[in-house]
Amino acid sequence: MIRFDRVGKRYPNGHDALGELSFELGAGEMAFVTGHSGAGKSTLLRLVALLERPTRGQVTVNGRNLSAVRRRGIARVRRGVGMVFQDHRLLLDRSVFDNVALPLVIAGTPREEMAKRVRAALDKVGLLDREKSAPSMLSAGEQQRVGIARAIVAKPPVLIADEPTGNLDPQLAAEIMALFGEFEQVGTTVLVASHDLPLVKRMGKRVLVLDHGKLIDDFRP
Amino acid sequence: MNRRIEKNRAKPATPEARTKFSLRAWREQHLYSLFSSLGRLAARPWATALTLAVLGFALALPILFGLLLDNARGLAGNVGEASSISAFLKPGTKADEAQAFATRLRARADVAGVGVKTPEQGLDEFRERSGFAEALKVLHYNPLPPVLIVEPRGDAEALVAQLRGEALVDQVQYDAQWRQRLNAILGLAQRGAQVLAGLLALAALLVIGNTVRLDIAGRSEEIAVMQLLGAEAGFVRRPFLYSGFWYGTFAGMLSLMLIVIVQFILAAPLARLAAVYDHAFVVHGLGVVQMLAVLAAAAAIGWLGAFLAASRHIALGQPR
């Protein structure tokens, strides 16, 4: 479902973010990417969502070789990848409902079905009663849950998250991580970047450890 | 791929159903953009009103100028088809003298035809055309001389000069000359109006483009998020195109309102002027077709300005 084949990424400023990275993540598998900051975790996720192009090697997502995807095809690839960000990136001038509905609006989902699916996603993250709230009225943990609801509402086959618990206290972080674990159970491929190694280990999933852009460990605790 | 996910992705299987689905999706997205862009204009009423005022004036000016010229041209046209030379004979010239003179002129190579207008005909015509019917009743005699209407063939300058030298001729009026000058002036003014219209339309295009550019800059986070979520360039661009469309359409309406107001202000003095001229001319404003054309042109300018701005700025920040 996600395959990296000798992938390297050098930024225009000469910084080598990834070098010779190869791994494969099967359909419905969940894994964590860990390593200290600057190890290349974010770059790895950015390549999956086609926010960046690799300098070398090939990235395959949902059976598509991303180097064969032209500029016009980028949007379609991204619709197949749900994304959760550390700073949630919700639109603050819209209600929780409208934020979660955005991927469906983009996909052109009919109105009635949209409402049903938005409520199902909000229910999943336990925020069904907050659909009319403004994101700014929610706590940090709740905002991140809305971000997750938005990432899964269109039922993408792949879900990626970049430090989704970075701004949360340990208990909230554990709750959010548990939530990601649930999506694996419904067959979504989940890839979460986190530097919180103790928390990652407690989840008992596959862990990819990056250091200076190289894969130095791939284990399951 | 996992079966359950596949099933849940709500993609209809048959081609027919898919067409229906995408048509519906297309319509939903357009309606969404249409109204959300309208809502955003309404959310900043002052900024929107100011922009619309600038655009409205920019569009109204050339239209008003054009209308003015159109009316001036109509007025000039009323003066008569005047390539002919009017030779007023000396008062007291007898009818047979006038006829003889006319026959002599008809023999000339540079004369296409000569008509004789007797003083009686002249008086009748004067009565009909001018507003002096009442005043003419007071006169006890006919003060008008016989007139020869000479149609020149080719260049009339030499003919006019010779007619002026004739003993029977009191005065020669050659309308074509001043008509040519008037036409030249009107032609120049019309070209000026066209240039002005073009420049002001370009200004409107730039104003709308700049407004949309600022709008895009103000909503860069929203655009970035939409692009992250997999929105097509067209989808991201669409609300801005509709904004441009609305700007253009509303500016068009505003300019039409301005024109109607100007027409209303000028209506009374124009009516007085027309009355003095015995309603020899009719002042006309914009017709329905022209109004619709103004609206369509304004909407097109708005759309185009937005398209130029949006295409340029939304493409930034995406990998190739």
Strands (E), chain A: 2-10, 16-25, 30-34, 56-61, 64-65, 81-84, 158-162, 189-193, 206-211, 214-219
| Range A138-161 average pLDDT | 94
Q: What is the pLDDT of residues B81-114, one digit of tens each?
A: 556 788 888 888 888 888 888 888 888 888 888 8
Nearest-CA residue of chain A relative to B23?
A108
Q: Report the pLDDT averaged over residues A88-94.
A: 91
Q: How confident is the model at residue A111 (pLDDT cuts 50, 70, 90)?
A: confident
State the angle between helix axes of B15-43 and B233-276 in degrees (0 to 180), rounded to the nearest 10.
60
Token output for A57: 């090697």
A11 touches chain B (CB under 8 A): no
Model pLDDT, residue B122: 81
Write the ipTM. Answer: 0.91
- Confidence (pLDDT) at B291: 92
CA-CA distance, B25 to B19, in Å (whole number)? 10
Topology (CATH level 3) of domain B85-155: Alpha-Beta Plaits (3.30.70)
Distance from CA of A71 to the nearest CA of B (A): 5
If pLDDT is split at 50, 70 and 90, which confidence band does A187 have?
Answer: confident
- A91 shares contact with chain B (CB less than 8 Å): yes
The verdict on residue A9 lying in a domain is yes
Mean pLDDT of chain B, nearest integer: 81
pLDDT, tens only, A23-37:
999 998 999 999 988
Q: Bridge-partner residues for B113, per DSSP? A: B151
Task: Tell me the C-alpha to C-alpha distance, in Å, between residue A26 and each of A13, A145, A219, B282.
Answer: 34, 25, 15, 82
Cβ separation of A49 and B235 shorter than 8 Å? no
Mean pLDDT taken over chain A: 92
Residue A51 lies in domain = 1-74+190-221
Tell whether A132 is covered by a domain. no
pTM > 0.90: no
Which pLDDT does position B157 carry in this prediction?
77
Number of neighbours of residue A165 by Cβ within 10 angstroms? 24
CATH number of the domain where residue A18 is located: 3.40.50.300
In this complex, which of B8, B25, B319 lies closest to A108 when CB atoms are compared? B25
* Domain count within chain A: 1
Specify the pLDDT at position A135. 95
Residues in chain B: 320
* Closest C-alpha to B254, from B51, B60, B46: B60
**Which residue of A27, A63, A110 is in closest CB contact with B2?**
A27
Measured on CA atoms in the order A205, A206, A211, A213, is the torsion positive or negative? Answer: negative
pLDDT at B3 over 60: no
Shortest Cα distance from B246 to chain A (angstroms)?
22
Q: Is residue A145 part of a domain?
A: no
Distance from CA of B188 to the nearest CA of A (A): 50
- Domain annotation covers residue A81: no
Cβ B5–A111 below 8 Å, yes or no?
Answer: no
- Any domain includes A30: yes
Does residue A99 form part of some domain?
no
Q: How far is CA B300 from the centre of its chain?
A: 17
Does residue A109 sit within a domain? no
- Looking at the complex, report in whole angstroms how far the Cα of residue A53 sits from the nearest Cα belonging to chain B: 7
